[in-house]
Amino acid sequence: MMKEILSIKDSAQEEINNTDNLDAVQNIRIKYLGKKGILTNKIKALSAIAKEERREFGRILNETKDYIENLLIRKEALFKAAELDNVLKTQRIDVTVPGCFTPFGHLHPTTKVLDEIIEIFLSMGFRIEEGPEVELDYYNFEALNFPKDHPARDMQDTFYITDDVVLRTHTSSVQIRIMEKHNPPLKVIAPGKVYRCDADVSHTPMFQQLEGFMVDKSISMSDLKGILEVFAHAVFGPKTPVRFRPSFFPFTEPSAEVDIGCVICSGKGCSVCKNTGWIEILGAGMINPRVFEKVGYDPDLYTGFAFGMGIERITMLKYGIDDIRLFFENDKRFLEQF
Amino acid sequence: MKASIKWLREFVDFSLTPAETADALTMAGLEVENIVPNSRDEDDSILEVNVTPNRPDCLSIRGIARELSAILRLSFKDNIISIQKEEDAGPSIEIKDTNLCPRYASRIIYGVQIKPSPERISKRLESHGIRPANNIVDVTNYVLLEMGHPLHAFDLNKLAGKRIVVKTAGSADKFITLDNEKRTLSKDMLLIWDAEKPIAIAGLMGGLNSEVTSSTVNVLLESAYFKPASIRRTSKAVNISSEASYRFERGADINNVVLALNRAAQLITEIAGGKITKITDNYPVPFSINRISVSLKKINDILGINIEPSDIQEMLTAIGIENKIEGQGVTVVPPGFRQDIQRDIDVIEEIARLYGYSKIPSTLPKTETQPLSQNIRWNLIKKIKDSMRKSGYSEVINYSFLNPSDLDRLKLFKEDTRRELIKIKNPLKKEEEALRTTLIPALLNNVILNISHGEKSLRFFEISSIFLHSGQDLPIESLKMAAIYLKDKKGLMWQDKHDGFYDLKGALENLFFEIRIKNYLFRQDFSLIEPYLHPGKSCVININDRTVGFLGTLHPEVADNFEVAPEINILELDIDKVCSLISPKITYKPLPKYPYIERDIAIIVPENVTVSDAEKTMLDINTDIIESVKLFDIYAGKPIPQGKKSLAFSIRYRAGDRTLTDEEVNQVHSKIIKKLEDSLKAELRS
């Protein structure tokens, strides 16, 4: 009996090993484990065996059955995997067909740069304020210490709506509006469009500025330098050289212009920096006490600084753009690069 | 201001290279914008100095040299002027308007010989941008460049009474200047007269009637000081900007009047011969000395430095400011050529400049910590821009100007308030003479430009202010967003082919989701729609029953007017209105506990029945188990009869407190079908 079982096991094993397709495996299952299968018949025949041996043979037969079943399952899995493999080999999509989506649009390069600049100042505790683009002469000039009939007004070619109403030539007008409404301490940035009647490769009649100012007790020029160095290093890189040199704006005193080491030639000298190695990026200074007097602040109690920068200029330097007019032509091929 | 290095060296003995000189000046506030070779002298260079309006004293070689000597702490060698043999009396001068002309000095030079100037004069004039004329005129210009003081030479023989009267124009209303232009005068303009007639517009330009010409023999030389504001007003009014007016309106040095006159007289006799008369110096309003005291603590506090009083004194002395330490302060008297120094802060600026900005330390302000104050509107605009960007739209920025004829091309009605334009008095171009009252023309022009580059599909948006009449001084500035979509007709084969209108609408709905706008709807209303939109393919956008914008296809006529394809879709949104309608609060709703049952329904309805009509009809059933109704197909064409279309919806049923049975759902579902058949003449599609 034992021998018989072992021989069944061997022959089943051999047959399974020799199969070459899924159907053959199925046939082997029927042949050995089917209702009338060789092993099934042996199990059925157990009842005829002496009671004391029945248990032992029963166990062996069951083990053999499990063994063969296992071999069959493994063989089946092998064939199924191979079959799926074949199917997968024939099912193909062209992965180089472009994806199905609406491509993202692009923010205007000046928006990107303005956002970046604003983040820097927000992180230092400044808040955003805005003012009108069509402005009273008073806010744009008079209160900023540009008296009527003063040549300082020639520094900015002005579009006039009436004798007393202008297109603001700078965002500095927001300084007066905010200081009139709020008392110090103040830490404000004011972005916006400004207008000058001028048009060539480096001037457009409209451009954007960001004004910043801070007023408190004991604000000094060294604070101004500190804040603007943080800014310049954040935008142009921490190793960018920054220098301050004297200048003149009616609403600040002392006034400064701020240069960075030329981003094009790294200070070696090129046409962009006119061989000086330096590029001007903004104007700044300590708020003129005359301005404080206009808004009713006590200039002996408060000091402050203000600065203003052209967003297009910073953007041009950051991305190497050489014609400011590109910003307002709205050529898709330009906009798509940002 | 151009300044020759060689000429500067006549006043200061410096050995710096031109680049080093430029750097020294720049870092002291006299920005040198360019260094160019002197085209009239190969051994020389010309510095192009940007002189700020507060420093008229540096609008001369002598002034820049004086500054350079202060910066470099080198001694300043002034001109030596000596006039000999003054026997004859000087001219008679009467100043009627002493508030406009506090000083007028003059000499006459008899018997000059008019001819071209020697090269040393003419070359210098040319290299500094002034065209030589004759030796007399050239000398006045030479002294203007050298000493910064404008002079004028009259032909004495053409002056009635051989005298000078300084007074306003009064009734004289026309005057021909020496450039042969007829100028219109107003009565408060300051003129120079002889005994009878005007002979010059003071400080601006002489008259043709008294010009020095080749036949001139006797010359009357004028050196005066005119009040800056008056010169500037006249200069603007008569539209003359001359080297003279440029200096007078910024402020000449009243103490320089006689010196400049003598220098010119001396030069004239040198190169044109002649005999100089005595000087007449009419100086009715003497220069008042300004004494300023500055607290030493304030100097240090404002600059954030710690400077010794002796250093302060050394610097001030170097730039010619008399000074004295008195207690805790320094008292200064600025020289006549520094009229910009009026208050303590002006003195502090001088100290900062000479101390060197680079030596001021960098610190961060010590202030109280304050919470970040959010600008809600700004943040929202940022979100809107980002949402549009993610829907495929690129941001454009256009000038705020409008070509008024674009409003005709947009077919705006005559009475449209957007035709009440805010106009610029001095536009650069006629097409830019008004401020925008709508963003649409600019976006259409952006599309036109890009089509000309061969683009076929364009998505742009802009967020900018428009300017509307308010009846007040300042216009209403209203922030708008406009978007434009040109869909490529051909498209790509695997992409949808629906009308571009729905793409733009989808972008807007995404935007509304992004900024938490909920109660919006799109309403077709022929009475409200913009005249530049196709009436059948456009709608009003409402939020909480307020109109906030428009969406639609360009009107074919407007497309024609702008010469663009008619399949352009446009969106306009009033950003400020939208911002006011946001519901920022998010309230959590518990998740449903019971499953839903979904049923589809397909109906055939007359063409004019809208999806919204059908949805409303379905939702109008009196039940609380309809969770949502969603359109999933629209179809017209065979086999649907003409004039009809098929709509297919998925209806989702769910109850909050139990699992629905098929029976319950069937009941409601058949009510829906009945309602659709009754109110919309819908037929169920089998």
Span(s) in chain B for CATH 3.30.56.10: 2-72, 292-357
d(CA B546, CA B578): 9
| Nearest residue, CB atoms, B449 vs list A110, A221, A331 | A331
The answer on A315 and A213 residing in a single domain is: yes
Quote the DSSP letter at residue A116.
H
Regarding whether A234 and A303 lie in a shared domain, the answer is yes
Counting one residue from A and one from B, how many pairs have CB atoms under 8 Å apart? 239
Intervals of CATH 3.30.70.380 along chain B: 597-684
Q: In what helix (H) or strand (E) does residue B167 lie, and over which residues does it extend?
A: strand B163-168
User: Is pLDDT at A269 greater than 80 in this prediction?
Assistant: yes
Q: Domain range for residue A219?
A: 109-335
| pLDDT computed for residue B496 by the predictor | 65
How distant is the Cα of B455 from the closest Cα of chain A, in angstroms? 8
Cis bond upstream, residue A185 (ω within 30): yes
User: What's the CA gap between A175 and A135, in Å, rounded?
Assistant: 13
pLDDT at residue B82, rounded to an integer: 84
Contact B392 A160 (CB under 8 A): no
What's the total number of domains in chain A?
2
Residues of chain B with pLDDT under 50: none
Mark whether A147 and A194 lie in a shared domain: yes
Domain C-terminal end among A56, A90, A124: A90
**Residue of B249, B449, B473 with shortest CB distance to A165:** B473
Contact between B386 and A149 using a beta-carbon 8 Å cutoff: no
**Contact, B125 vs B131, CB < 8 A?**
yes
- Second CATH level (architecture) for the domain B376-580: 2-Layer Sandwich (3.30)
Residue A108: which of B357, B367, B397 has the nearest Cβ?
B397
Q: What is the pLDDT of residue A267?
A: 82
pLDDT tops 90 at residue A48: no
Tokens describing residue A206? 């409209």
Cβ distance A227 to B446 less than 8 Å, yes or no, reads: no
φ, ψ for residue B224, nearest 5 deg: -135, 170
Does a structural domain hold residue A104? no
**At B204, which amino acid appears?**
L
Using the Cβ of B329 and the Cβ atoms of chain A, whether some distance falls under 8 Å is answered with: no
CB A137 within 8 A of CB A166: yes
Are both A153 and A12 inside the same structural domain? no
- What are the backbone angles phi and psi of residue A27, rounded to the nearest 5°? -65, -40
Same domain, yes or no: A183 and A303: yes
Q: Which amino acid, one-letter code, is at B91?
A: P
Establish if B364 touches chain A: CB-CB under 8 angstroms. Answer: yes
A279 shares a domain with A320 = yes
In a 3-state reduction of DSSP, which class is residue B586?
A: coil
Check whether residue A30 and residue A168 sit in a common domain.
no
Percent of chain B with pLDDT over 70: 99
The superfamily in CATH containing domain B92-282 is Phenylalanyl-trna Synthetase, Chain B, domain 3 (3.50.40.10)
Q: Which of B27, B388, B477 sits opposite A134 (nearest CB)?
A: B477
- For chain A, the maximum distance between any two Cα atoms, rounded to a whole number of angstroms, is 131
| A103 assigned to some structural domain | no
User: What CA–CA distance (Å, rounded) separates A285 from A274?
Assistant: 25
Single out the residue of B255, B219, B264, B222 nearest to residue B93, CA to CA. B222
B597-684 fold:
Alpha-Beta Plaits (3.30.70)
Is there a domain that residue A54 lies in?
yes
CA A239 to chain CA mean position, Å: 23
Can you give the pLDDT at residue A39?
A: 87
CATH (domain of A327): 3.30.930.10
Beta bridge partners of A242: A260
Enumerate the residues of chain B whose CB falls inside 8 A of the CB of residue A127.
372-373, 375
| CATH number of the B292-357 domain | 3.30.56.10
Q: Report yes or no on A223 lying in a domain.
A: yes
H or E element in which residue B72 lies: helix B61-72
Query: Looking at chain B, which residue has its C-alpha nearest residue A122?
Result: B372
pLDDT of residue A100: 81
- The residue among B466, B462, B468, B467 whose CA lies nearest residue B481 is B462
Chain segment A246-268, per-residue pLDDT in tens: 999 999 999 999 999 998 888 88
The residue among A90, A119, A154 that closes a domain is A90
Q: What are the Cα distances from residue B292, in Å, to B239, B310, B332, B341, B539?
A: 37, 18, 5, 9, 69
**Other C-beta atoms within 10 Å of A131: how many?**
20
**Nearest-CA distance B608 → chain A (Å):** 31
Nearest to B522 by CA among B455, B593, B611: B611
Same domain, A274 and A144: yes
Select the residue of A106, A134, A244 nearest B394 (Cβ to Cβ): A106
B305 CA to chain A: closest CA distance, Å? 8
The contacts of residue B430 (CB under 8 Å, 6+ apart) are B403
For B:509-568, CB contacts with A below 8 A are none
Tell me the backbone φ, ψ of residue A99, rounded to 5 degrees. -60, 155
- pLDDT of residue A163 exceeding 80, the answer is yes
Q: What amino acid occupies position A137? A: D
**A214 and A116 assigned to the same domain:** yes
| Shared-domain flag, residues A247 and A118 | yes
Residue with tokens 């256009």, as numbered in its chain = B398
CA-based angle B120:B126:B131, to the nearest 5? 115
Same structural domain for residues A211 and A114? yes
Contact B435, B400 (CB under 8 A): yes
Rounded CA-CA distance B553/B212 in Å is 71
- A203 and chain B in contact, CB less than 8 A: no
How large is the ipTM?
A: 0.91
Q: Which CATH number fits domain B2-72: 3.40.630.30, 3.30.56.10, 3.90.180.10, 3.90.550.10?
A: 3.30.56.10
3-state secondary structure A24-77: HHHHHHHHHHCCCCHHHHHHHHHHHCCHHHHHHHHHHHHHHHHHHHHHHHHHHH
How wide is the angle at C-alpha B103 spanned by C-alphas B86 and B252, nearest 5°?
Answer: 105
Distances (CA, A) of B166 to B99, B103, B159, B237, B304: 11, 10, 14, 19, 50
Q: Are residues A169 and A251 in the same domain?
A: yes
Count CB atoms within 10 A of the CB of residue A257.
22
Q: What are the Cα distances from residue B59, in Å, to B2, B247, B337?
A: 9, 7, 11
Q: Do B31 and A245 touch (CB under 8 A)?
A: yes
